[in-house]
Amino acid sequence: MYLLPAIDLRDGKCVRLIQGDYGRQIDYGDDPVAQARAFEQAGASWLHVVDLDGALKGGHFNLDVLQRIRQETRLNIELGGGVRSEESVKALLDSGITRAIVGTRALEDLSWFEKLVRDYPGKIVLGLDARDGLIATRGWTETGTVTVEQMADTVNDWPLAAIVYTDIARDGMLTGPNVEATGRLASRCKVEVIASGGVGELDHLRQITTIPVGGVIVGRALYEGKFTVKEALAVVEGKE
């Protein structure tokens, strides 16, 4: 299992939203590039980035920040938020981003998404963000009628890089991940599942190591000093 420290970008700053609510924002720093370097220096090899402006509005609003992170670190980067066209995906991959996360457009245009995944095998991540088991889109502001399981079953044989599963009710709360739901999803998927949302202490990471996920995303807990990147890596890599 690997660790993905998270940087959520809004107006060029590192922030976190509580339960995906744009009106409940915590600011953590004005220099996301320095934060990315700090994660790398602490031992991380991956970085999970969300363009919150893009997720809400579509498109990319923090590309300059992203490009500087790419230039100043050797981190593998996965980016989500506003990735809703093939042109967007191509631009990200051409700029050196390791893989692109698609959520809203995948749900709204499944045939387009399938073609994209097959045209870019191993480079596309499906973002499944759920509220009460139903997938939410457009920066988590809209909830549809498709369940996580239905979507996962549909894409199970596609050449996806991974599925990022986020329980919105747990995201940013530090109260623990939805291990049961994440494990249930991972157990039925051939595609690698990455757990996201709710990690607030090392014991939460230990719980995640008991289910068959490939990685885990951690954000607020790192920013608020609940544990260090080094301590988190020791847990997820089984080196405690």
Would you name the residues annotated as active-site residues? 8, 129
The bridge status of strand 134-137 relative to strand 142-147 is antiparallel
Among candidate residues 165, 214, 159, 166, the one with its CA nearest the CA of residue 192: 214
CA 210 – CA 33 distance, rounded (Å): 33
Dihedral over alpha carbons 138, 144, 149, 154 (to 10 degrees): -80
- Torsion angle, CA of 130/55/1/120, rounded to 10 degrees? 110
